[in-house]
Amino acid sequence: MEYIIDYLYSLKTKKLNRLVAQLSIVPIAQSIIIQSVKSINKVSVKKEYSVKMAEPIRVVVTGAAGQIAYSLLYMIARGEVFGSDQPLILHLLDIPPMVGVLEGVVMELADCALPLLRQVIPTTDPSVGFKDVSAAFLVGAMPRKEGMERKDLLSANVKIFKAQGQAIENFAKKDVKVLVVGNPANTNAFVCANYAPSIPRENFSAMTRLDQNRATSQIATKLGVPISAVKNIIIWGNHSSTQYPDAGQGKVVINGETKSVADAVNDNAYLQGAFVETVQKRGAAVIAARKMSSAMSAAKAACDHMHDWWNGTAPGTFVSMGVCSDGSYNSPKDVIFSFPVVIANKQWKIVEGLNLSDAAKAKLNITAKELQEEKDEALSVLDLSSNL
C-alpha cells in the first residue's frame, strides 16, 4: 500500500493521464480518478496506513482475577490507557487457585469484542506473564486480614514483590513501565525495583492517583464545579493514612477565571482539617459502606496514572506519583515517595520549588518517617541490608 501511494505521487501529470486513459472507463470517470489522486493528502494516507499496521504492545495485569482487575482490564483493552490506535496483547497473571475465575475473565474479554485486543494470555507462570511486556500493572497483593500486624502484611507482600521483581528483571522489556497498585504500594514498589537492577529505577512507581482523584473530587464538590475545572492537587508521601493531601498548589476555574483553590475555598480550617482527613480515610469509608475495598475507582486511577505516564501531562498540569525519592522536599532518599510530577516522553520529573507552609512540612515529615520505617521493616524481612 505504501509503495502504491509513493508511485502515484511520483507520476507526472501527462504520465498519469496516459495511464488512466488506458483504463476501459468513460472519460468522466478518468477525470475523476486523476483529480482524486491529485487531491489525496499523502502524509495523512501514509499515517493512517501506518496506524493500522501498528505493532501490538504486551501489557501484564497481576491479580487479574480480582475485583480491581475486573474493571481495569476492560478500560485498558478499549484503549483508555495506551490510545485508541494501539493494539494490545494482554497477559493475565494470577495464582493457581484463581484459574477458574481467570477463565471466566478471558471469556468476558472475548465477548466484549474489543477491536484493539489482539490476544489474551492467562497464566499462573511469571515467566509467561512478564514475557516481553512494555507495561505492568501489579495489582495482586496479600490483603490485610483481621488481627494481622503491619509487619505481617509487609512480610507476606515483600516476598510476592521480590518474586515479581525477579520476573520483571528476567523477562520484561528493559524499558517496561511498572505501576504498583497492591498495598502497601510504596514499599512493594521499592522491593520490586530492587530485584530488577537492570531496569531503570525511575521505571517503577506506586499509585497515589486514587488519593489525588479523591482529593480533586472533594474540592470540586466543595466549590460546585466540574472535576475538569480543578487541577494540581497533590498527594505527598505514602499511600496510607499518613499521606498529605495538599490543596495549597491547586488551581480552579470558576466562571472562566482561574483562581487558587485556597482563595476559592477561603476556609483554611477546612483545607487543613476535614479535607485532609476525608481523603486520608476514604478507603476505610468505602470498605465500611460496601464491605469491600475500592475497586472501580482504583482501576480508574491506575488507568489515569499509566495514561499520563505513557502520553505525558498537559502544560501547567502536574500529577501525583509514588517515585524513587532523590531527597526533594527533605524526603528520605531511595524510598518510594509520592511527589507532584510533570511527564514528557514517558519520563517523569519532580516539580521543584513549591512553597510549603510549616504545617505542610510537618505533615511531610510524618509520612516520610512511616515510609522509612516500612523500608527498614521490608529489609529486615528479606535480610537485604548488606545488598541494598
Active site residues: 239
Orientation of helix 27-39 relative to helix 13-21, angle to 10°: 140
From 276, 273, 228, select the one nearest 253 (Cα to Cα).
228
* Grid coordinates given for 150: 503491619
User: What amino acid is encoded at 335 in this protein?
Assistant: V
Residue 353, beta-bridge partner list: none
Orientation of helix 185-194 relative to helix 358-382, angle to 10°: 50
Burial class from Cβ neighbours inside 10 Å (0-12, 13-18, 19+) for residue 23 reads exposed
User: Which residues touch 368 (CB under 8 Å, ≥6 apart)?
Assistant: 237, 330, 331, 332, 335, 337
What is the number of H-type helices and E-type strands within the chain?
A: 16, 14
Please compute, for residue 11, the number of CA atoms within 13 A of its CA located in the half-sphere on the CB side. 16
